[in-house]
C-alpha cells in the first residue's frame, strides 16, 4: 500500500493533520463522494489528511525502476524534522510500501509529512 495516496473515492483515509502539525493516524475509513464534498476547501485534501491505496509501482513517477522501490521513502527520511525514536500506532504498517522497504526508519519522520510536502521532495 502507498502511504502517500491521493484523496479520491475508494482510497482509505488513515491520518488527520493535528493543530501541532503532526499527522494523527486513525483506523482507516473509505473515502466516499460525500466525504469529498464535505471536505472541499481552499487547501488540498492532501494537506489536511493522509490517504492510502494500492501502490502503482511502475505506474508512478516516484518508482525507481532500477532498484524496484519507491524513491519517496528515502527522501522523507532526509527531512530536517523532529524524528521520533520509537514506533507509534500506524494502522497500515503491515502493508505499507515504505515500511516494507526501510522498516522503522521510514516511520520516524512519517507523521511529519503531508502529501504536498512530499511533492516538494520530488525535486530533490
Ligand atoms: S512509513 Fe511507517 S508510519 Fe508511515 S505509513 Fe508506513 S508504516 Fe505507517
Whether 5 is in a domain gets the answer no
Whether 1 is in a domain gets the answer no
| Atom of ligand 1 minimally distant from the CA of 97 | 6
Residue 42 has a pLDDT of: 61
Whether 110 is in a domain gets the answer yes
Task: Name every residue whose Cβ is closer than 8 Å to that of residue 114 and which is 6 or more positions away in sequence.
Answer: 17, 23, 46, 47, 48, 50
Q: Which of 24, 99, 111 to mutate to test the pocket of ligand 1 (most atoms within 8 A of CB)?
A: 99
Cell of 28: 482507516
Q: Which of 11, 12, 5, 20 is nearest to 72 (CA)?
A: 5
Give the integer Cα–Cα distance in Å for 19 and 33: 26
Backbone angles phi, psi at 70, to 5 degrees: -80, 125
List pLDDT tens digits, range 27-69. Answer: 999 999 999 999 987 668 988 999 999 999 999 999 999 999 9
| Atom of ligand 1 minimally distant from the CA of 90 | 8
End-to-end, the C-alpha distance of the chain in Å comes to 23
List pLDDT tens digits, range 62-97. Answer: 999 999 999 999 988 887 667 778 898 999 999 999
The mean per-residue pLDDT over the stretch 106-112 comes to 88
CA-nearest residue, atom 5 of ligand 1: 3
Number of structural domains found in the chain: 1
Indicate the pLDDT class of residue 101, thresholds 50, 70 and 90.
Answer: very high
Please check the confidence at residue 123 and state whether its pLDDT lies above 60. no
Tell me, in angstroms, the distance from the centre of ligand 1 to residue 87's CA. Answer: 9
Give the integer Cα–Cα distance in Å for 124 and 119: 10
Give the integer Cα–Cα distance in Å for 93 and 36: 25
Whether 104 is in a domain gets the answer yes
Residue 80 has a pLDDT of: 67
Whether 21 is in a domain gets the answer yes
Whether 4 is in a domain gets the answer no
Q: Which residues line ligand 1 (CB under 6 A)?
A: 3, 90, 92-93, 96, 98-99, 106-107, 110
Question: What is the residue range of 29's domain?
Answer: 12-121
Whether 42 is in a domain gets the answer yes
Q: What is the pTM of this model?
A: 0.89
Please check the confidence at residue 18 and state whether its pLDDT lies above 80. yes
Mean pLDDT of the chain: 89
Quote the distance between the C-alpha of residue 52 and its chain's center: 7
Task: Considering only residues 10 and 41, tell me which one the structure prediction assigns the higher pLDDT.
Answer: 10
Q: Which of 28, 106, 112, 115 to mutate to test the pocket of ligand 1 (most atoms within 8 A of CB)?
A: 106
Whether 98 is in a domain gets the answer yes
Amino acid at each position: 500500500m502507498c502511504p502517500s495516496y491521493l484523496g479520491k473515492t475508494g482510497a482509505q483515509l488513515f491520518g488527520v493533520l493535528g493543530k501541532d502539525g503532526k499527522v494523527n493516524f486513525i483506523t482507516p475509513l473509505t473515502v466516499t463522494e460525500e466525504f469529498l464534498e464535505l471536505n472541499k476547501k481552499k487547501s488540498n485534501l492532501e494537506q489536511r489528511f493522509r490517504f492510502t491505496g494500492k501502490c502503482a509501482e511502475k505506474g508512478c513517477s516516484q518508482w525507481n525502476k532500477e532498484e524496484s522501490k519507491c524513491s519517496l521513502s528515502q527522501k522523507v527520511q532526509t527531512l530536517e524534522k523532529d524524528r521520533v525514536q520509537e514506533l507509534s500506532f500506524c494502522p497500515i504498517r503491515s502493508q505499507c510500501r515504505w515500511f516494507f522497504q526501510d522498516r522503522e526508519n521510514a516511520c520516524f519522520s512519517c507523521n511529519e509529512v503531508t502529501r504536498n510536502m512530499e511533492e516538494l521532495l520530488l525535486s530533490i
